[in-house]
Structures are given as structure tokens and as C-alpha cells.
Chain A
Amino acid sequence: MDQLLTISFYGTAIALILIGLYAVLAKKNLLKIVIGLSIMDGGLHLLFVSIGYIKNGTAPIFSPEVLNTKVQMVDPVPQALVLTAIVIGFAVTAVALSLVIRLYRHHNTASIDEIKNLRW
């Protein structure tokens, strides 16, 4: 059971990261590359949150019911950090998408092979 949980959480996160990485490296359409970046970020955030889990722990919120019982709570720090990281990831995606729109307007194509004005 433990192994299954471990594999499913870590495994999904790592799979997402690899899928996103593949999209960034292998796809030609600019939009797909940006989506790939977003997927990579998602995988990383999932990985980060999974780190904080403690077995049989509950959400770190001190609602009136849990105040008097001594329960094990999961680590709240990764959750707070991921909150920040999600917003930052969104901001980068937004800027990247605006660049895609501008590149598309200018060159009338969204393929990364065509947009190579700047040479080595």
C-alpha cells in the first residue's frame, strides 16, 4: 500500500515533468511549447507538495473540531511555497503567451522553425 502511494504521487509528478519536457523540446508549434512549460511547472509543484505529506496527517487548519484533539498535521511549509510558485509560473506563462501572440502577428506563423531571424 505504501509503495503504491509513493509510486502514484512521485510517479505522477515525475511523469508530468517528463511529458512537459518532451513538449518543450520536441514540438514545433510555439503554443505547444508554452503549454509544455506549464505542464513541467505543474509536475514540479505536485512534487513539492508531495514532499510535505506525513502519513495519516490531516490538513494544517485548526478548525474548532481539531483544536482539542492531538492530531498529526502535514507540513504546511511546502504548501505555502507552492502557492507562491504557482503564481510565479502563471506570470511567466502569461508573458510567454503574449510573446507568442506578437510573434504570430508579425510572422503570420506559429512554428518555431520559421521564426529564426536571429542567427548564431
Chain B
Amino acid sequence: MVISPVHYIALPLMAAFLIPLFGKINKELVRIIPGLVLLYLSYVSVTLMTQVLNGPMIVEIIAGWNPPWGINLVFSPFSGFLVSMMTMLGFLIWVYTYNFKPEVDYSQTTKFYTLFMMLITGTIGIVLTGDIFNLFVFLEITAISSYALTAFYRERDGAEASFKYILIGSFASFFILLAIVILYTQVGTLNMADIAQKMPAVDPYIKGTILLLFFIGFGIEAEMFPLNGWAPDVYTQAPGPIAAIFSGMVVKAGIYALIRVIFTLFDVPAVLNLLLIMGLITMVIAEVIAMRQERIKRMLAYSSIGQMGLVLVAFSIGTREAIFAAIFLMFNHAVIKGLLFLSATYLVYNSKDKEIKELDGMGKLMPFTSFMFALGAIAIVGLPPFAGFWSKLYILIAAADAHMIAVMAIILVISVIEIVYYFRVVHRIYFRKATSNTDIKIPTYNAKFTLLVLGLIIVVIGVYPDLIMGIIDKAAADLLDKQNYIQSVLSLR
């Protein structure tokens, strides 16, 4: 059997249906199977990436009908890079969750691992697909898994956060489906390459409306202001590793969908200005609010929103180096924010309110976890020699080259704000005495392994960024090359 992109979807689905049956044979299998699937998919990622980096992009046909009549999956340098990142990050997070909360009983554990695997599969599906309605279906798969996982714990306000998320998420689905309806009447096809080809012939007023609807719909998923009201509550209430998946994968998939629609499907350069403004507003407001937060996970959530705003700004600058910087930032943010969420989860494991002031003195009580958190904090504000430095630098260079001095200034001011609130936390961890009755929980070996690997990636990329810069450069070139996308998909006719 040839390794092909459909394995990313077929195998997790098969595993998800089989987990209850396997569970009857041996209860431990329920926890192990998602890990095995993710490990295999990481191997598939490496194989397929080496193939597309040296040759044409892989377009796989489903059900034997060529595009534009059938559905197809597209594994190009850009989508493939994101998918590889998601599978490997997913595997690392699985390692972390292996015996995260041993007191959860068996039937809940089964559901958790199945939902966990399907959440990752949903985000991978969003990135891989080449058909706009299929994108909607995978978006819903991701959304439903997120709704269920946010409300997983009983003793928190997860149900309320999840309900808020459902309301706003349903609006997102509504807008996207409405956009697809209107789009279908105008171009008569659902295949993205075919739509891209037929788009110039569409009436400009209707085209603008469709684009606006997609912008709002995907903007909700990508945490753009003012559509990100759901994000802080959801990140705070969800289990720690799930918050890491949300910030590292779900949001990236949302941004990918938005970018794919703007860059490949439509030919309206004016929307990039709108994107720039929205990105800047998102960034500024989110980072300012982050400063006022007293609870650690909420602070990380607002910081995530701010970073996503920065990614949108970078994409909207539109030059090749800006897109390169944006993709680099997406990668860095996924790894670093993952590390921050995962370490913060253990730092506040037994606390009820998860407030920052409870982190006092953790430097002495939990040295390894605190060190990892501090590493993440330094990396995310963009200080050398860690990975975050390079992405910030490249964004600034791209902004300078595009003569957007105001944008540069805003980014620098925001970076200062970030340093303030992150270092406030690090200061508390290391330079204050612990309060008397903190009940700490030492992370398990597998959790430490994940934290260590994530930290190593941050350090290694920081010192040798060339390791992935070549891949990201190809990804950026691929996104800008609309004609290549259309030709590769439709030439299979």
C-alpha cells in the first residue's frame, strides 16, 4: 500500500471506531492506540514531506473521480508543513497525557482519547482538503470535538465556556455555509482549484459579500477581534493538554483556512488591508488585556490571541518574506505556547483558581517545570537565542522592507508589553517565597519527556534556524503560487 495523504484521515477514523472494541480486550489499549496512530502518522509526514520538497505537490483523488467532480486532498509544501507540525505536536501531547489524571474512570477515558484523536484529525483534515464543502465538514468535526472536550471536567465551569463556544461557533458555521451557498450559485463548483479559476468572472459586489462572509466565519475560528470572545474562557476551562491543542492546532487550522480562501480562491488584494487592520487591533487589545489577568491560563489565552493577531498582520503584508515570517511564527507559536500551557498545567495542578500569585516560589519546589516555563516565556517574547527571536526578527524585517514603519513600531511596543507580563510571572516563580500550603504535583516521566522535547526544539531552532528555514521558504513560495496550485489539481482531468 502506497503511503498517501488519505492515511491521515482513514487511519484515525478506523482507530476511533475500534477503540471501544479494543477496550474490551484490554483496558490499556484505549490509551495506547491513539499514540500508535499518531506515531505512524508522524512517520507518514516525514515521508511525504521529503517527497514534496523535491518534487511536485501530491494531489490525491478520493473515490476515483478527478477534480472538479470528486474530492481531492492536497499535500503541498505549505499544507504539508502544517500537517507534519500538527501530527508531531499531537504525538508529543499524547505522550504528555498518558496518565495525566489517573482518577478519571474507564468509560470517560475512552471518550477522552477518542475525542482527542478526532480533534487532531479534524484539524489535519481542514489543512489537507482541496474542496470547500469538505473543509466545512472537517471544521465541524473539529468544532464538535472541541465542544465536548472543553466541558470534560465536571468540577469546573467547563459547561458554561463550552456553551458560549457553541453559540459563537454556530455563527461561524452559519456564515461559512451561507458563503458556500452563494458561492455555489456563482461558480457552480465546490472544488477549490476550480473556484480559483472561475472566480474572476464573478460579479464584484457578490464576490465582496462572499469574501466578507468567509472572513467573519473563519475569523471566528482564527480568534480575530472582535470575534474571539469564546477563546479565553475555553482555554481556561479545558484540560491543560487540550488547551495546548487548541492554541497549537485548531487556531492554526482556522488561520490556514482564512489564508487559503484569501490567497488562493479570491483575487481581491484590498482585503489584505482589512486583514492588516484587524490583525493589529487584535494584537493590541489582546496583549493589553493580558497584562491585567490574574489567572495564569487566561493570561496565556490572551497572549495566544495576540500572537495570532501578529500572524495575521504578517500574512497581510503580503510579500514573500512576510509570509515566510508568518509561517515561521505559526510554527514557533505552536511549539512554545504548547510548552507554556503544558508546564503551566502542572504548576497549578492542585490549585482551584489557578491564579498567578499561587506560583510564588515554584522555582524551588518544582525546578524542572519552572525552568521549562521560564524557557517558554523567554522564547515567546522573542529574545535570543531561542526560536521566537527569529520569527519576530523576520516579521520586523518584512515590515521594514514594505515601508510599514507604523506597523513595526506597534510590534515593538507590543513586544515590550509581553516582556512585562511574562517576566512578572517568571519573577514570582523564582524570586518570591512559596506560600505555606501549596500542594504540588510532580509531573510524570512522560510529561517531563514532552516538556523536554519541546524545550529542546525551541533551543535547537533558536541556535540553528536554518534547519527548518528551507522548508518554510518553500512553503511560503507555494502559498503565493496560485497558478501552480490550480494546474496541479486540475491537470489530473
User: A residues within 8 Å of B by Cβ?
Assistant: 24, 30, 33, 37, 40-41, 44, 47-48, 51, 77-78, 81, 84-85, 88, 91-92, 95-96, 99-100, 102-103, 106, 115-118
The 3 closest A-B pairs by CB, nearest first: A102-B159, A88-B140, A99-B163
The count of residues in chain B whose C-beta lies closer than 8 Å to any C-beta of chain A is 31
CB distance from B114 to the nearest CB of A (A): 15
Sample 18 A-B pairs with CB under 8 A, ordered by A number.
A40-B170, A41-B174, A44-B174, A47-B178, A48-B181, A78-B184, A81-B133, A84-B137, A91-B140, A92-B143, A92-B169, A92-B170, A99-B147, A99-B159, A103-B160, A116-B160, A117-B157, A118-B236
Q: CA separation between A92 and B145, bound complex, in Å?
A: 10
Contact of B144 (CB < 8 Å), options: A48, A91, A106: A91
Besides A33-B167, A40-B174, A81-B133, 18 more A-B contacts (Cβ < 8 Å) are A41-B174, A48-B177, A48-B181, A51-B184, A85-B177, A88-B140, A88-B173, A91-B140, A92-B166, A92-B170, A96-B170, A99-B147, A99-B151, A99-B162, A99-B163, A116-B160, A117-B157, A117-B160
A contact face: mostly helix, strand, loop, or mixed: helix
Contact of B147 among A40, A41, A95 (CB under 8 A): A95
User: CA A88 – CA B143 in complex, angstroms?
Assistant: 11
Contacts of A99 in B (CB 8 A): 147, 151, 159, 162-163, 166
A44 and B233 form a contact (CB under 8 A): no
C-alpha spacing A106/B161, complex, angstroms:
14
Contact with A along B174-200 (1 / 0, CB 8 A): 100110110011000010000000000
Question: Nearest Cβ distance between residue A28 and chain B, in whole angstroms?
Answer: 13
Q: How far is the CA of A119 from the CA of B237 in the complex (A)?
A: 13
In the complex, which residue of chain A has the Cβ closest to the Cβ of B161? Answer: A118
A-B Cβ contacts below 8 A, count: 73
- Asked if residues A115 and B160 are in contact (CB atoms below 8 Å), the reply is yes
Query: What residues of B have a CB within 8 angstroms of the CB of A103 in the complex?
Result: 159-160, 163
For the complex, give the distance between the alpha carbons of A69 and B161 in Å: 57
B37 adjacent to chain A (CB < 8 Å): no
Chain A residues within an 8 Å CB radius of B227: none
B148 contacts chain A at the CB level, 8 A cutoff = yes
Q: Which of A85, A96, A117 contacts B166 (CB 8 A)?
A: A96
**CB–CB A95/B144 < 8 A:** yes
Kindly provide the distance from the CB of B120 to the nearest chain A CB, expressed in whole angstroms: 19
Q: Which residues of B contact A30 (CB under 8 A)?
A: 163
Q: Is the CB of B151 within 8 A of A102?
A: yes
Contacts of A95 in B (CB 8 A): 144, 147-148, 166
Within the complex, the shortest CB–CB distance from A86 to chain B, in Å, comes to 11
**Once the chains bind, are A92 and B173 in contact (CB under 8 Å)?**
yes
Residues of chain B within 8 A of A77, CB atoms compared? 184, 190
Among A37, A106, A117, point to the contact of B170 (Cβ < 8 A). Answer: A37
Residues of chain B from 239 to 291 with CB closer than 8 A to chain A in the complex: none
CA distance A77 to B187 in the complex (A): 13
Known interface pairs A103-B160, A118-B161. Does A92 touch B151 (Cβ–Cβ under 8 Å)?
Answer: no
If A51-B181, A99-B151, A99-B162 touch, whether A118 touches B157 (CB-CB below 8 Å) is yes
Q: How many Å lie between the Cα of A85 and that of B176 in the bound state?
A: 12
Cα–Cα, bound, A44→B137 (Å): 16
Q: Which residue of B lies closest to A34 (CB)?
A: B166
A78 to B189, CA, bound (A): 11
Set of chain A residues within 8 Å of B164, measured between Cβ atoms: 118
Assembly CA distance A118 to B185 (angstroms)? 42
Residue in B148, B151, B160 whose CB lies within 8 Å of A118: B160
Report chain A residues within 8 Å CB of B178.
44, 47
- Chain A residue numbers with a CB within 8 Å of B137 are 84, 88
Docked Cα-Cα span, A77 to B180, in Å, equals 12
Report the bound CA distance from A87 to B422 in whole Å: 44
Q: Which residues of chain B come closer than 8 Å to A40, judged between CB atoms?
A: 170, 174
Chain B residues, Cβ within 8 Å of A78: 184
**CB-CB under 8 A for A37 and B163, given A44-B174, A44-B178, A88-B137:** no
How far does the alpha carbon of A117 sit from the alpha carbon of B155 in the complex, in Å?
13
What residues on A are CB-neighbors of B174 within 8 Å?
Answer: 40-41, 44
| Complex contact A92–B144 (CB within 8 A) | yes
Could you tell me if A100 and B163 are in contact, using CB atoms closer than 8 angstroms?
Answer: yes
The docked-state distance in angstroms from the alpha carbon of A74 to that of B151 is 43
